[in-house]
Amino acid sequence: MPERHIVVLTGAGISAESGIRTFRDSGGLWEDHDIREVASPEGWQRNPELVHRFYNARREQLHHVSPNPAHFALAQLEQAFRVTIITQNVDDLHERAGSRQVIHLHGELRKARSTGDPRLIYPWNGPLDVRDVCEKGFPLRPHIIWFGESVPLMKEAEEHVRQADVLLVIGTALGVYPAAGLLLFCPRKASVFYVDPHPAEWPGPTRNRLSVLKEKASTGVTRLVRHWMATGDFGRPPED
Ligand code: APR
């Protein structure tokens, strides 16, 4: 039998149990911060110091958090299946858990990018400062896709979703496009799973094939992965 291709779309919810705040839950990041000021090109023009402070704090937090059982379970899935992770998260917890194919739709906290030449991207672990420049002398910015900016990895992500045998969506409110629009490219034959304690409305034609596990990622994802590894059965989700 050909190898199954499992495509996983993750959002902030998968990292919540590692201690990283989500965006739109109560207590979420966007309650304390104005998106327009810290996550838009206009905000960056107005006040780059503020933008740096915001992302420096997020980057610093990465030193104090670790992957949780959901991240590890997804990495383990690669022992038996072909797995592509498409994440909206800018943390590196999938990689630290051992996942090898991770597409970061919204960028990566641990990278900095030239404002003059977007091809110049550097690993970055400490704070970024307005005086930091690329090798061509342009100021550096966080390697994050802000609201209103295009998402360069969308096409690649779309191709993976189009070829999915199984689509697993974890911990996302499905409120931000174009990322949420990826679900529309899922083939009708695919098995579709959504793990989230407060699942959002599911868009598109695969709704009638959807299994929702209304629970936290650490338990829901671990249970699904254990079941799939043991049985190779992507039909109904396992009972509790
Ligand atoms: N396990 C699984 N899901 C959880 C958990 C958990 N332990 N805790 C919360 N969630 C779910 C919430 O129920 C919600 O559906 O995670 C989701 C978080 O939603 P958002 O905060 O909107 O995060 P996300 O969907 O990833 O946001 C998308 O918005 O601001 C931008 O660029 C940012 O990538 C982000 C994008």
Domains of the chain: 5-20+66-106+151-231 (3.40.50.1220), 29-63+109-144 (3.30.1600.10)
196 lines ligand 1 (CB under 6 A): yes
- Catalytic choice (52, 106, 143, 160): 106
> What pLDDT is stored for residue 2 in this prediction?
62
CA distance linking residue 97 with residue 65, whole number of Å: 12
> What pLDDT is stored for residue 238 in this prediction?
81
What is the distance in A from the centroid of ligand 1 to the CA of 21? 9
CA distance linking residue 227 with residue 143, whole number of Å: 37
What is the distance in A from the centroid of ligand 1 to the CA of 178? 15
197 lines ligand 1 (CB under 6 A): yes
- Helices 217-231/69-77 angle, 10° precision: 20
pLDDT, tens digit, 9 for 90 and up, residues 45-60: 999 999 999 999 999 9
pLDDT, tens digit, 9 for 90 and up, residues 226-240: 999 999 999 888 876
Structure tokens at 138: 């342009």
H helical segments located in the chain? 13-16, 29-32, 35-38, 41-46, 48-61, 69-77, 93-97, 154-162, 217-231
Q: Give Cα 225 to chain centroid, integer Å.
A: 18
Is the whole-model pTM more than 0.95? yes
What is the distance in A from the centroid of ligand 1 to the CA of 231? 30
> What pLDDT is stored for residue 1 in this prediction?
54
Question: Is 227 among the catalytic positions?
Answer: no
pLDDT, tens digit, 9 for 90 and up, residues 136-155: 999 999 999 999 999 999 99
Rg of the chain over CA atoms, in angstroms?
A: 18
